[in-house]
Chain A
């Protein structure tokens, strides 16, 4: 395996790690929310202030979290991953 291949494998592994971590985070948060609905309805019905229940607050937060997770992934891949893949490509072409 050439240096560039090793380099590419490393970048690739880093991206999959982040991707799986973010996917797992979203799954845990969302399934957790569904389980709360299933197991403890009264808790989510707790009125925090007039008009705002815990359930509505968490629901809005999940929409925002989904967006933040995507931004984390896109920013990391745009700034780090793309450059490192491009580097690996360049080394490979020079090595030819």
Chain B
């Protein structure tokens, strides 16, 4: 593969996918008349559909290109990410999915604010959501720009603008219905693409994955099958692991998907489908990563992109030629587009539903007015995404996603859990916990070696670890508990009984 060379199959795949998503948008736009359809697809998505859409929302370019690249370049160490991205799902289904569906309407702030004072909680929760969305968006946009530049020979900036505008068109007009279907199509494409790729790799090893791993170990030493220097210290490893595990349960665009189904049972079952799809996909990444290591070779992968992000496309070219490379490239593009759409919608919901409607209008905005503001917020976020994508050109994609997970785990997850489980949780407690989680994570990352030594070239970092999760997650809980104890709130305690009831029976039944 030559960088910047135009691949016509990729171009065609890319055009077909854009065309398909615009057709979906056209159909969806006719049904998108209310806030319920714009944010939550009219709550009419089935369990299997939502499961695939969750998978499509979750498996980002960082998963497909990033992990395959990490495994190809460092073997076992890359798998730490694959596994970390999956173990958050049992937490989501056990603790979060059903209560969220039964308590809220559109955003996870609905749950935290359920029995607390609306304004302060919504401001904090929206800030937490937007911080996660912003870093996640940067990662996706930077990934998209690089990918398209490499694959189609377009300028980085042009590529970022195209992704932003296509995404804007379908979120703006098709809302959650279009976003859901684009995510479903993308999930099916990604699973099919990864399966075909794995199949073609295994064909060369008589369908025995161990033969592939053995060949990798023969070429690069047994070290590729063992943990290496990636998780350097003990603290670092646990810290990263906790952020990946609990971050999933605090990602606003994932949580928002649970509002698109009719009831809690469907929400729960959809996680089973989602995890099946995501789990199978991550098992494929084992094959793809080692396949690229053996069949493409580490030097060739590094030559195209030092971070290894092009390992999967290069592997596709090695086993299936130009046409297959084109197909996999189009799949990678679809992957990014679908995730960016989910993120933008979650950000727009935080801005319009939480900030505009509940903070500025005291919960009294008409449907039409809210929909208008939501669309305005979508346009603003799409422009922001384009701007961030260009401003952060050259940043490490996997690192930005890790940062988003760390904020989600430290800011959103603790407040969500305490609001559902602890009677004594108060408005001030929620506010303090979310803001502390957001600010402390950002601050510790700023003071970490990643920024201080690698980026700013200072000789030493004030905070010695790259991953702050081990400190910020428990501290957010402690801050929330401590502040709640200092500011007792009888109304919030009374509301807890209603919350406990509604968690199990849903809204209709609550009196």
Contact = CB atoms under 8 A, between A and B. Distances in A.
A69 B209 CA distance: 25
B76 interface: yes
A25 to B, nearest CB: 8
A26 B210 CA distance: 27
Interface string A43-69: 011010111110110011011101101
Contacts of B15: none
A6 interface: no
Contacts of B282: 63
B113 interface: no
Contacts of B504: 8, 11-12, 15, 85
A47 B222 contact: yes
Given A12-B504, A66-B275, A42 B226 contact: yes
B94 A23 contact: yes
Nearest to A86: B505
Given A39-B234, A49-B210, A51-B214, A66 B86 contact: yes
A21 B225 CA distance: 32
B269 interface: yes
B111 to A, nearest CB: 16
Interface string B226-241: 1110010110111011
B276 interface: yes
Interface string B68-83: 0000000010011011
Nearest to B213: A51
Given A51-B213, A51-B214, A66-B275, A26 B91 contact: yes
A37 to B, nearest CB: 5
Interface of A: 8, 11-12, 15, 18-20, 22-23, 26-27, 29-31, 33-35, 37-39, 41-42, 44-45, 47, 49-53, 55-56, 59-60, 62-64, 66-67, 69-71, 73-74, 77-78, 82, 85, 88-89
Q: Which 4 A-B pairs have the closest CB atoms?
A: A45-B226, A51-B214, A51-B210, A53-B225
